[in-house]
Structure 1
Amino acid sequence: MPFLTTDDGVKLHYEDVGSGTPIVFVHEYAGDSRSWEQQIRYFCRRYRCIAFNARGYTPSDVPDDVKKYSQERARDDIKAVLDALKFDKAHIVGLSMGGFATLHFGFTYPERVLSLVIAGCGYGASPDKRAQFAAEIEETVKRIEQVGMDKAAEGYASAPSRVQFQNKDPRGWREFADQLATNSTRGSALTMRGVQAQRPSLFELVEQMKTITAPTLIVTGDEDWPCLEPGILMKRTIPTSALVVMPNTGHTMNLEEPAAFNQHVSDFLHSVDAGRWPKRDPRAMATAILGK
């Protein structure tokens, strides 16, 4: 079982499959490296695929200090993966918590990026939802600490943006919920307190997002309501971005609709690898509706 060590001494477990240009997959809060299995099986035929467990997700280390968990740490742990495996650059694919980390990686370390896939990114970002998001985080953390992740997982897996998965694919959803139930109670609580509760809103990052030059694909489900408006914000702000909205789909899109998700990402990577991904024509941002 391979591990790498970050610059602050935390050991991260990772999976390494395939050969060729590297793709690093960055998982969501309710997942781990296993969440990317259907993507790794698909993309390892043409790419070298890396999926790692974030700090707090066994068998990676679970530090006891909440200061070891932050948006900056999540971002820099992607860099630790690239450094340990000696990748100058890689395609980075992140979902939800991993999508936030991917976005931050893109504007902090542009020289290490071939492309960015930012999926399901936006929870708690909308200005009118910040207070509600903070309150729900505190309530969720308390429940996790009181009953343990093995019991809290069922409710978390049945969130409004995950019932679509449950309805479409009860067997796949059950596997997802059962895997979530095995996550570390301490790691889950500390991750939520240190990362989700402290990260800045996307609406506070507009100037940073404008600097992203790497080809960027934004993906959201049309029933993942907390991510729709932030998805449009990122599309409007990142000049090298495209937005895919997957129909009748919730938050766990890579598991809920794996074939469609893989096809969207594959088409994107093909364009990037061929050097054909465009930068937005500035004329598209004119305020006129009909033109002259």
Structure 2
Amino acid sequence: MITTRDGTRLHVEEAGSGTPIVFVHEFGGDHRSWEPQMRYFTRRYRCITYGARGYPPSDVPTDVERYSQAIATDDIADVMTALGIAKAHIVGLSMGGFATLHFGLRYPERALSLVVAGAGYGAEKQYEDYFRNVSLEVARRFEELGAVEFAKIYSTAASRIVFQQKDPRGWQEFATQLAEHSAVGSARTMQGVQARRPSIYDLEAELKQMQVPTLVVVGDEDDHCLQPGLFLKRTVPASGLLVLPKTGHTLNIDEPALFNQFVSDFLATVEQNKWLPRDPRSVPAEIMKTS
């Protein structure tokens, strides 16, 4: 357990040695969701995974003000500080992808690189009000039904069906772990983080200035992440976009081999100082050169 700046204790696991990678989980997952990555990347890296606040065995504060996008971002930094890590590669999925992106904005000096996977829900401006309201409804249902019962509903969301179809055993493990979450922690996370976080479109000016090497990853059947993924590619200077075919929201466990391969190549490229901002000569306005 490590203790954050506001006194919240977070469960942390690590394995391997070398350059650190910190894995930041999604709302529907927890520290266990990164097991395929922990087993793969520990061959070359020091790998850290942790449970966000609200996810046992981490503490579950009952005050919603102990949850926010800024706090989730600070928690990454506090995990690193507690483990004596000055800089790390940060890999996040969905809610963790948003925290990873914000980490690059707020702590660029501590980020060797960013992998921002499946980050888009609530970002699309036309769905802002809907996302805020449905987040609050999800929170209410967690508290009303409890995690065991509501997990049966939440785990069959549209963006998770492709995972259920292609890998029913993997999906069942995800659903089982979701049912083990704290109903209160899940509700407060929805209320404090998800429902209140800013749209990434509102961060355009800041993102254009962020120089951290970034890999954006989306699944082509994760509809509400596709356009935000393109936006990030076009906005973040040193970014690349990976779209995994026939893949939904749970990218790292939906297609672990592809995810690990591309992230591994990305990290190696970054470490060779070869993942650079887009060359200004390759302006998107030009279709063919005539002179």
Residue type at the aligned position of 2:267: L
Q: Does 1:152 align with 2:185?
A: no
Q: Does 1:48 align with 2:46?
A: yes
Q: Aligned equivalents of 1:288 and 1:15: distance in 2?
A: 48
Residues 252 and 259, structure 2, Cα contact 8 Å, conserved in 1: yes
Q: Aligned equivalents of 1:255 and 1:178: distance in 2?
A: 14
Residues 133 and 195, structure 2, Cα contact 8 Å, conserved in 1: no
Match of 1:237 among 235, 238, 243: 235
Q: Runs of 4 or more off by more than 4 Å in structure 1?
A: none
Query: Hey, what does 1:264 align to over in structure 2?
Result: 262
Residue type at the aligned position of 1:76: D
Q: Aligned equivalents of 1:65 and 1:140: distance in 2?
A: 17
Q: Aligned equivalents of 1:283 and 1:276: distance in 2?
A: 17
Match of 1:91 among 77, 89, 92: 89
Partner of 1:219, secondary structure, is strand
Shift of 1:279: 1.5
Query: Hey, what does 2:123 align to over in structure 1?
Result: 125
Residue type at the aligned position of 2:240: A
Query: Hey, what does 1:17 align to over in structure 2?
Result: 15
Query: Hey, what does 1:173 align to over in structure 2?
Result: 171
Q: Does 1:29 align with 2:11?
A: no
Residues 104 and 212, structure 2, Cα contact 8 Å, conserved in 1: yes
Q: Aligned equivalents of 1:281 and 1:201: distance in 2?
A: 27
Partner of 2:282, secondary structure, is helix
Residue type at the aligned position of 1:21: T
CA-to-aligned-CA distance 1:59-101 (integer Å, 9 cap, x gap):
0000111000000000000000111111110000000000000
Partner of 2:158, secondary structure, is coil
Q: Aligned equivalents of 2:136 and 2:214: distance in 1?
A: 32
Q: Which segment drifts farther, 110-119 or 125-134? A: 125-134
Partner of 2:227, secondary structure, is helix
Q: Does 1:196 align with 2:194?
A: yes
RMSD of the TM alignment (CA)?
Answer: 0.9
TM-score normalised by the chain length of structure 2: 0.98
Query: Can you give the 5+ residue segments of structure 1 that lack an aligned partner in the other structure?
Result: none
Query: Can you give the 5+ residue segments of structure 2 that lack an aligned partner in the other structure?
Result: none
Q: Aligned equivalents of 1:153 and 1:76: distance in 2?
A: 28
Residue type at the aligned position of 2:176: D
Query: Hey, what does 2:216 align to over in structure 1?
Result: 218
Partner of 1:116, secondary structure, is strand
Partner of 2:23, secondary structure, is strand
Shift of 1:132: 1.5
Query: Hey, what does 2:37 align to over in structure 1?
Result: 39
Partner of 1:162, secondary structure, is helix
Match of 1:185 among 164, 183, 186: 183
Aligned positions of 1:71-86 closer than 5 A: 71-86=69-84
Q: Aligned equivalents of 1:151 and 1:162: distance in 2?
A: 17
Shift of 1:138: 2.0
Shift of 1:187: 0.2
Number of equivalent positions: 290
CA-to-aligned-CA distance 1:203-239 (integer Å, 9 cap, x gap):
1010111121111100000000010000000000001
Partner of 2:268, secondary structure, is helix
Shift of 1:289: 2.6
Partner of 1:161, secondary structure, is helix
